Amino acid sequence: MASEKTFYLETFGCQMNVHDSEKVVGTLISQGYRQVESVEEAGLVLYNTCSIRDKAEQKVFHRLTDFRKLERQGKKFGVLGCVAQQEGQKIFERAPHVSLVCGSASYRNLPQMLVQLEAGKRAAGLDDRQTTETFETEFTARTNPHRGYITIIEGCDKFCAFCVVPYTRGRERSRTSDAILAEACQMADSGYTEVQLLGQNVNSYHDPLGKKSFSELLAAVGEVEGLKRVRFTTSHPIDFTRDIVDAIDSVPALCDHVHLPVQSGSTRVLEAMQREYTCEDYLQRISWIKTARRQISITTDIIVGFPGETEAEFEETLSLLDQVGYDGTFSFKYSPRPSTPAQAMADSVPETEKARRLAILQEHQKQIQARLSRGYVGQTLEVMVEGKNTARGQLIGRTSQNKTLNFTVTAGNPQPVPGSYVRVHVTASFPNSLLGEMVG
């Protein structure tokens, strides 16, 4: 047992990080490691970190400092992901007990780095951000047996003024459509019915084989036998083309949902953010989505308090919310990030004002969602069963539009199992979820 190789991995941040961790776990297992549930049991402790907002790196250093004394027990520590890439070799100085620092563009070199660690050396994977290679692994350890992610593109070339991602994840590099389709077929064969195509900007997917555009890839994945639901995230408005909506219209498995981050409703602020589109350009994309044959739900990301954002510009964002009628928003206070162009701008909106704008925006959006949700009462929708809320005696379902629809089953009827698809009659609505009763 003494020589058994064990690891503990904690993940912070976005879906890309969650899926990267599934690949890292699979890679470690293929190298003879066993995953354990606590730091105490582990020989190797890994953090897959996020630096998109706030002082995420501080969180990681606090974690590492807390566990410093464990080094004497022979444990090794590694920092992966965006903070690893952002802080680089400085991590070894600030936390000398760390022996692995690796950004996401270098994960394909993890097996060699593990060998170095085992030989008692330090290993760093920080120099691959210009690579054209993606992290191809057959060892992805997916955590959900019904719904899984597939990376289609890594990195980002957009360089929005506020965003650290192009610096931490490196240049855009797409996987081949053949590799993506093979993975989708393999997942369908192993019983998956839902896949989500992932990338920092999936719309700029560029098939290295030159065979498929993004919308063609989407349609092809949607036609894989056995897959009932295909989602994709995240989209950039400038690369969001009409043929994506046409694909959704013509391929039944493509879900009725588009996440299209707008960031601001003011064209002046969008320009300062280097988003490359105006508010009118964005609304044109929205009109394509709204005129689709299916009712497609729309969600977005918004930043309040970007440097120089005036009260009037903030109000333009509020009126954009009214115009679009979003089904959901993820909204954030602007937070300066190292290496980004916006970091050099004066962070002119005080923290209290950012907080005020965020609260106003979130309340405004809650009213919109409450109104939109009411429109579903009386409809019958198909859900994928995700689990149970035992305390409430309800099952948790998700609709094609990505809405949570909790439901009950009439007494005497069998309870559907997670991963199955059932029809639910909607009886009540809330801003963030729907409630209903299973049909049949």
Where on the chain is the footprint of ligand SF4 (CB under 6 A)?
A: 156, 158-160, 163, 165-166, 200-201, 236
Give whichever of 111 and 338 is closer to ligand 5AD, judged by the CB atom.
338
Kindly give the residue spans of alpha helices, DSSP state H, lying in 238-298: 242-250, 267-272, 279-290
Give whichever of 220 and 302 is closer to ligand 5AD, judged by the CB atom.
302
What's the closest the beta carbon of residue 261 comes to ligand 5AD, in angstroms? 4
Q: Is 361 a binder of ligand 5AD (CB under 6 A)? A: no
Nearest to 151 by CA among 22, 261, 19, 27: 19
Structure letter (DSSP) for residue 415: P
CA 380 from centre of chain: 29
- Tokens 């560029």 locate to 206
CB count within 10 Å of CB 32 equals 10
Q: Which does 166 bind (CB under 5 to 8 A by kind): ligand SF4, ligand 5AD, none?
A: ligand SF4
Give whichever of 238 and 409 is closer to ligand 5AD, judged by the CB atom.
238
Distance from C-alpha of 278 to C-alpha of 320, rounded to nearest angstrom:
12
Distance from C-alpha of 268 to C-alpha of 308, rounded to nearest angstrom:
10
Report the SS3 class of residue 233. Answer: strand
- String marking each residue 259-298 x if it binds ligand 5AD according to CB under 6 A: --x-x-----------------------------------
Nearest to 409 by CA among 388, 429, 427, 395: 395
Considering CB under 6 A, how many residues would be counted as binding ligand 5AD? 12
- Beta carbons of 426 and 438 less than 8 angstroms apart: no
Question: Angle at which helices 110-118 and 15-30 pack, to 10 degrees?
Answer: 60
What's the closest the beta carbon of residue 297 comes to ligand SF4, in angstroms? 20
What's the closest the beta carbon of residue 165 comes to ligand 5AD, in angstroms? 7
CA 412 from centre of chain: 39
Give whichever of 159 and 330 is closer to ligand SF4, judged by the CB atom.
159
Q: Which does 201 bind (CB under 5 to 8 A by kind): ligand SF4, ligand 5AD, none?
A: ligand SF4
State which residue has the least CB distance to ligand 5AD: 301
What's the closest the beta carbon of residue 50 comes to ligand 5AD, in angstroms? 10
Instruction: Report residue 429 as tokens.
Output: 């609505």
- Beta carbons of 233 and 259 less than 8 angstroms apart: yes
Question: Angle at which helices 311-324 and 279-290 pack, to 10 degrees?
Answer: 10
Judged by CB under 6 A, which of 25, 28, 52, 150 binds ligand 5AD?
A: 52
Q: For ligand 5AD, which stretch binds (CB under 6 A), given 57-65, 103-111, 328-336, 348-356?
A: 328-336
Give whichever of 76 and 275 is closer to ligand 5AD, judged by the CB atom.
275
What's the closest the beta carbon of residue 234 comes to ligand 5AD, in angstroms? 7
Residues that bind ligand 5AD (CB under 6 A): 52-53, 162-163, 261, 263, 301, 303, 332, 334-335, 337
